[in-house]
Structure 1
Amino acid sequence: MTDTTTELGGRRVCVTGLGVSGPPVARALLERGARVTVVEGRDDEANRERARQLRDLGATVELGEVGLPEGTELVVTSPGWRPDAPVLAAAADAGIEVIGDVELAWRLRPADQVWLAVTGTNGKTTTVRMLEAMLRADGRRALAVGNVGTPVIEAVLATGEERYDVLAVELSSFQLHWSSTLRPHAAAILNIAPDHLDWHGGMEAYAAAKARIYGPGTVRVVNAADPLIRTLAETHGDPAAPLVGFGTGVPRAGELGLVEDLLVDRAFVPDPRTGAVELATLADVVPAAPHNVANALAAAALARSAGAAPEAVRAGLHAFRPEPHRIAHVATVDGVDYVDDSKATNAHAAAASLAAYPSVVWVAGGLLKGADVTDLVRDAAGRLRGVVLLGADREQLREALEKYAPHVPVVDVARTDEGAMAEVVAAAARLAQKGDTVLLAPAAASMDMFPNYSERGNAFAREVRALASS
């Protein structure tokens, strides 16, 4: 164990936030003898119950408007807290170290535990789930952790039969911002598009946060189609570490890619200049949309970097089941496919989804959060049969459609009540022709009409199934 028990014993540690990561971090610190104070700005029923449980374990918990606890020696922050939050700003001014839950987990991990890390604007969860399946098919005790479900701190502290040899770690730009000594065995940046720029202060800082995934000695896995990612790997990563590309083109030496319908590795072979090994076929990737094939190749690169056999890649892809609301086929009605990609909450994700289908009735709209959709609409215009708009910011999409796709019929659904999605699906069905795909890929967040993207996708799927049974 890379154990910092002696460093934590008796230390006054402030934990910010009672969300997903806060309570397990507090418990881990308490178990190691730290004197823990948890601060949380929201004083509601759920947080009061979490506070009660932590107080029973010996923590101090402060709810509501709170400052930096007196005598704090270390702050472990929940990833979503901005650096300018008063507690964190006060710690920085006082010279107190601020780290995140991932950084703490890294410091407490078993010394022989392998971390394979993934970040990117889109596709992270799919990739780490694929990677987990490949590693398990190779006989490893592996688990996908981070933003994907299991808090990473719980995974690194698991013992006995629950102890993991390899972690497939999904990392957000927030988590990476608060990580300082992280050095995974291998790491991949899948893609970078504008997102969370208000949190980071701009695109340059956002990209730099993503690049923190490449620690000293980390095998740098990069999207071969994105020069920015290669530049980040070259300027922020270890120049002595291998640089491995992945993409849906024919691979060069040192890359993974496609040769006709084969997923091929020309990186982790004895002689990349002359050798190659088949990993799987396009039929093994479900769904075989281009961006999902790229996810599979990124996962394969990480698995192969850790020594996974070629056959484990194919077996893992067979075992993999996509998360809900990610280009999920709902039903085929009168020759029209209906696909739920409610997780496409930004323009980059929606563009990848639209590129997977030749003729689309596009269901789009919601909260754009200031994002520019003109490039998205311009690039997708040639494959649009029709568009159904919903949500608060649909006017911005309509303006882009009038400019770049004036020939495409658009239906505007203004209502926001429970019956809105029924109207959306009915309108899409009228626009669609046999062979088309009705695609929910909103390019926007859902909170104007739904609690989250899952509920939006569920509403779409319910109405499609009702259409199918009518």
Structure 2
Amino acid sequence: MAGAFERVAIFGAGLSGQAAKRLAIERGMKVCIFDEGGQGDEANFDQQSLHAFDAFIFSPGFAMQHPWRVLAEGVTKPCYSELGFAAQYWRGQLLGVTGTNGKTTLTSLLCAGLEGAGHVAVAAGNIGSPLSDAVLGAVNRSDAYAVCEISSFQAELSEGLRLDGLIWINFAEDHLDRYANLADYFAAKQRLCSCLAPDAPCVLGASVVAFDPAVADISHCTLVAQATEPVEGLEPHSPFYQSPQSENFALAASLWRALDLPLEALISRANTLQLAAHRLRQVEVWGEVSFWDDSKATNFHAALAAMDALNEQKVPVFWIGGGSP
């Protein structure tokens, strides 16, 4: 059990590392942060360091091939992500959202919908708020929900993570600077399926099943959501009324029904939710030309989804790309 640890090593002195440190100290553990940039307690970790700790907590930036992670995973002591470490102390329900694209939007919608249904809810994880901080806050109660955006980096170390529901939105080429191939990238995300509590619903997007049809057999509770016509009650101004967000809403609605939550609350919040910045939003009009900002589309899958959505307007589309070569 995590509570039995006396000394833990935390790797990375950034946002998640510092949050894990606060939680570990609050739980009575002694902590040492290892950070290559010199921002932690130590800048070097070697074979001799292993014996001084009961468990290891890694920030998302530490890939599987990193020497420190190879050392830690080479012994029988637990290796956690910040998310998995914190999950052991979360008292309420824990929902996960993963996928190549659309995670932040869907996490925000689910959290808003839960609040609209009268529940206490908090968004955490890759969305920018470590789960450790939620655990330390007043929101950590048995009747609360934590909706966690989970990247493949966080999913690699699934120790301690137990999910009461999961949405895997989509799957497409990405992060091949970290993974040797698409199969390895897929496998990292698929680890979350083994974290599901008994009878917990798992909703899969069509592109996930298209990459590996066997993933649909992971549980008798697995649901494969398909794109549908706009749901009754969704208003035309809602960001979820048309593609690509209409497909994301179908996934959310599938999980919602499986959790026996009132769909009206989800629809109501979908009609009022404002998408985070740089997510396919019209920012200017000049004459008959409209300008759209979709700069969060940092891979081909996201960019193509935006192009498809704008092509539905039956007008010429000019794409302006940029960034590092």
Provide TM-score, normalisation by structure 2.
0.89
Separation (CA, whole Å) in 2 of partners of 1:284 and 1:337: 17
Give the corresponding residue for 2:276: 323
Q: Residue type matched to 1:169 in 2? A: C
CA distance in 2, matches of 1:16, 1:310: 41
Aligned to 1:30: 25
Is 1:21 the equivalent of 2:3? Answer: no
- Once residues 325 and 163 of structure 1 are traced to their aligned partners in structure 2, the CA distance between those partners, rounded to angstroms, is 35
C-alpha distance in 2 between matches for 1:360 and 1:339? 10
Confirm or deny: 8 A CA contact 2:169 2:204 kept in the other structure. yes
Matched, 1:39 2:34: yes
1:181 shift after superposition = 4.4
SS at match of 2:244: helix
Provide the aligned length of Structure 1 versus Structure 2: 316
Q: Is the 8 A contact 2:234 2:271 kept in 1?
A: no
> Which has the higher relative contact order, 1 or 2, with Cα contacts under 8 A spaced 6 or more apart?
2
In 2, Cα distance between equivalents of 1:185 and 1:145: 15
List gaps (5 residues or longer) in structure 2: none
SS in 2 for 1:350: helix
Of 129, 139, 144, 2:118 maps to 139
Q: Is the 8 A contact 2:59 2:81 kept in 1?
A: yes
1:77 aligns with 2:58: yes
The alpha-carbon deviation at position 230 of structure 1 amounts to 6.6
The structure-2 alpha-carbon separation of the partners of 1:176 and 1:318, relative to structure 1 and needing over 3 Å to count, comes to: same
Cα deviation, residue 229, structure 1: 5.9
| Correspondent of 2:247 among 277, 294, 297 | 294
Q: What is the CA deviation profile of residues 200-252 of structure 1, one whole-angstrom value per residue up to 9, with x for unaligned ones?
A: 332112111111222243312011355336725335x3x33x2222232xxxx
- Tell me which residue corresponds to 1:62: 42
One of 70, 73, 89 as aligned partner of 1:92: 73
1:196 is aligned to 2:175: yes
1:285 corresponds to which letter in structure 2? S
Code of the residue aligned with 1:42 in structure 2: it is: G
- State the partner residue of 1:208: 187
CA distance 1:221–1:345, change in 2 (3 Å): same
Equivalent runs, 1:163-312 vs 2, <5 Å: 165-214=144-193, 215-217=196-198, 218-224=200-206, 226-228=208-210, 231=213, 233-235=215-217, 237=218, 239-240=219-220, 242-248=221-227, 257-258=228-229, 262-263=230-231, 278=232, 280-281=233-234, 283=236, 285-286=238-239, 288-312=241-265
1:298 CA drift (Å):
1.8
Q: Which amino acid aligns with 2:42?
A: E
Alignment-derived partner of residue 84 in structure 2: 103
Q: Provide, for residues 101-129 of structure 1, a one-character-per-residue CA deviation record: whole Å limited to 9, x for no partner.
A: 1111121111xx11121100100000111
Aligned partner of 2:128 in structure 1 is 149
Check the 8 A contact 2:235/2:271 in 1, yes or no: no
> Do the aligned residues in 2 keep the contact of 1:220 with 1:233 (CA within 8 Å)?
no
Which amino acid counterpart does residue 90 of structure 2 have in structure 1? R
- 1:95 Cα deviation from its structure 2 partner: 3.1
The CA deviation at 1:34 is 1.3
CA distance in 2, matches of 1:196, 1:42: 23
Q: Which amino acid aligns with 1:353?
A: A
CA distance in 1, matches of 2:240, 2:75: 51
Asked if residue 361 in structure 1 is aligned to residue 314 in structure 2, the reply is no
CA distance in 1, matches of 2:176, 2:18: 28
Q: In the alignment, what sits opposite 1:468?
A: none
Query: C-alpha separation between the residues in 2 aligned to 1:114 and 1:131?
Result: 13
Give the corresponding residue for 1:457.
none
8 A contact 1:137–1:312 mirrored in 2:
yes
Q: Are the counterparts in 2 of residues 116 and 169 from structure 1 also a CA contact under 8 Å?
A: yes
TM-superposed deviation, 1:159: 2.7
1:182 is displaced (CA, Å) by 2.6
Give the Å deviation of 1:282.
5.4
TM-score, with length taken from structure 1: 0.63
Larger Rg computed on CA atoms: 1
Name the Cα RMSD after superposition.
2.2
- Shift, 1:152, TM fit: 1.0
> In 2, distance between residues paired with 1:161 and 1:39?
28
* Identity among equivalent pairs (%): 28
Paired residues of 2:209 and 2:215 also in contact (CA < 8 A): no
Aligned-pair distance for 1:338?
0.3
